Amino acid sequence: MSASVADAITLERRGIPAAILAVDLLANTIGRAMARAQGAPDFPIAMVRAEDAPTEQPDSVNQLDALAATLVTQVESIALGQR
C-alpha cells in the first residue's frame, strides 16, 4: 500500500495519471500516512469497504461486478479531477 501511494504520487507529479485501489482500512491508515509523507495528504484513493472485499473465492460474479462498478466510478472521478 505505501509503495503504491508513493509510486502514484511520483507518476502524477511527472504528468502521468495514476489511481490507487485499496481496501478502506489500509487506505485510511497506511495510504494516508504515506500520502502525507510525500507531501500530498489529500491524494485520492479509490476505496472499497473491507466488508465488501472478497477474502477468498467470491460468492458470485454479481459480487465482483458490484465491486468493480464501485471502483470504476471512483477511478473515473479521480481521472476527471473530481476528487
Question: Could you tell me the pLDDT band of residue 83, with boundaries at 50, 70 and 90?
Answer: low
Residue 19 contacts residue 27 (beta carbons within 8 Å) = no
Could you tell me which of 4, 7, 38, 9 has the C-alpha nearest to residue 21?
A: 4
Least confident of 27-36, 57-66, 68-77: 57-66
CA distances from 52 to 15, 31, 38, 58, 68 (A): 32, 19, 29, 10, 11
Percent of the chain with pLDDT over 90: 66
Question: Could you tell me the pLDDT band of residue 51, with boundaries at 50, 70 and 90?
Answer: confident
How many domains is the chain partitioned into structurally?
Answer: 1
Mean pLDDT of 59-79: 87
Q: Is the pLDDT of residue 53 over 80?
A: no
Domain of 32?
A: 2-79
